[in-house]
Structure 1
């Protein structure tokens, strides 16, 4: 689940920016992806009149996110697309610790990332479809002062929950061709320390032939267990990897922003991201 104010993958936002109107609040969305036996996707874009927010609460249309007593409570009232099935229910995110850590992803500092809660207990209770789940999860945030595709060519990101800490890897290639290897390890108390980038590993390409890369211990292996989301420019995958002496499952994403900004991709996006009339 991703809450967007200024939906970075919105074709409508890209069109308006080209016309000189880049107001982020006019392009908001709550993205919900369900995998497994019940696969549903929702990412309806809404305008500024549908956005309400303060320091502890964000409402985007009928859905909302609120901090209450240290717990992030998410109320979901969305419809999937293109087949209009309801997605209704709630998610509660119980952070183990809040890091307060922020990193700039580019040399100019235009794009920032915060691994707010690298480890959290997540409770999912959906009424439509009827799903109940609880387990380990993750919460982060991104903000920026320009389009992603203007600063980056691609990136690969990976989160690995280990016994007593969480490892996060970011490999970023800038629009200027410069590469940055960012590694963090976060203890259960939220303290953050650097993680020297391990050995690079090439993963199999997706069905859309999207390249994927990660990093693991020297002499170790990393493999794709399941590709959850496969699009022309973005893939989300479950890996099995070896890092810091432990074999563990990992969440991984690959993003190709050259493909994202290609005219053929932009022409396809409205079929996955509808825009609400009100």
Structure 2
């Protein structure tokens, strides 16, 4: 597998901070995250049963970690990434356990030009939808949306329609493939991505 970067790496706030949220916003547990390849051209060459299978697509690589149990810090978590038209997009929107202040991060780039990279309040908002209308937020155990509405503070609006669930149990955790439609300055763009939801409480 080869990944060739098409967008600059980023951290939650676009600076040297790797921790999600301010000190203490996730309780005693520190959670870190860095997106090393927020968007990449991917090529895969695999030998299966003696036959070579090759395919290409959109790639991504990040790393997250914590110094304690994830469930001790997180109540709910939305994360997504993909390429929609010329835009490389990455986001997360977390509600810490015992704290009603959302912790967010938003990233948008066109090639190497970074348009959004920050963690300030309002930089991005992620909300679930189901059956064509807004779903309950925050979600509770067992809530499975049909998609997400992602709004960046620079005017980019991304509508996610979830496809196949590729990991998780659908109760505490789910990861999906899916499609995206983005609207920016009167233009509409299409794309694909990967999306996830944690509901820990």
Taking structure 1 as the reference length, the TM-score comes to 0.50
Do structure 1's residue 181 and structure 2's residue 75 form an aligned pair? Answer: no
Q: Which runs of 4+ in 1 moved over 6 A?
A: none
Structure 1 Cα separation of the partners of residues 10 and 105 of structure 2: 17
Structure 2 Cα separation of the partners of residues 108 and 96 of structure 1: 32
Pairing of 1:1-278 with structure 2 (within 5 A): 91-103=1-13, 104-108=19-23, 110-128=30-48, 130=51, 131-178=53-100, 179-189=102-112, 191=114, 193-194=116-117, 196-198=123-125, 200-203=127-130, 209-212=142-145, 214-216=148-150, 221-231=159-169, 232-245=171-184, 246-258=189-201
CA-atom RMSD in angstroms: 3.1
Other structure's SS at 1:177 match: coil
1:6-57 per-residue CA deviation (whole Å, 9 max, x = no partner) reads xxxxxxxxxxxxxxxxxxxxxxxxxxxxxxxxxxxxxxxxxxxxxxxxxxxx
Which structure has more relative contact order (CA 8 Å, sep 6+)? It is: 2
Structure 2 Cα separation of the partners of residues 100 and 198 of structure 1: 18
Structure number with bigger Rg: 1
Give the helix-richer structure, 1 or 2: 1
Residue 151 (structure 1) shift: 0.9
| Residues 12 and 105 in structure 2, CA contact (< 8 A), matched pair in contact too | no
CA separation of 1:193/1:174 partners in 2, compared to 1, >3 Å: closer, same or farther?
same
CA separation of 1:220/1:173 partners in 2, compared to 1, >3 Å: closer, same or farther?
closer
CA separation of 1:107/1:229 partners in 2, compared to 1, >3 Å: closer, same or farther?
same
CA separation of 1:219/1:135 partners in 2, compared to 1, >3 Å: closer, same or farther?
closer
| Residues 118 and 186 in structure 1, CA contact (< 8 A), matched pair in contact too | no
Bigger shift: residues 92-101 or 191-200: 191-200
1:130-189 per-residue CA deviation (whole Å, 9 max, x = no partner) reads 532211111111122222111111201111312333111211010113222332212311
Bigger shift: residues 113-122 or 103-112: 103-112
CA separation of 1:148/1:191 partners in 2, compared to 1, >3 Å: closer, same or farther?
same
Structure 1 Cα separation of the partners of residues 10 and 180 of structure 2: 27
Give the strand-richer structure, 1 or 2: 2
Other structure's SS at 2:116 match: strand
Taking structure 2 as the reference length, the TM-score comes to 0.67
Structure 1 Cα separation of the partners of residues 172 and 20 of structure 2: 19
Residue 128 (structure 1) shift: 3.6
Other structure's SS at 1:108 match: coil
| Residues 84 and 181 in structure 2, CA contact (< 8 A), matched pair in contact too | no
| Residues 240 and 249 in structure 1, CA contact (< 8 A), matched pair in contact too | yes
Residue 220 (structure 1) shift: 7.4
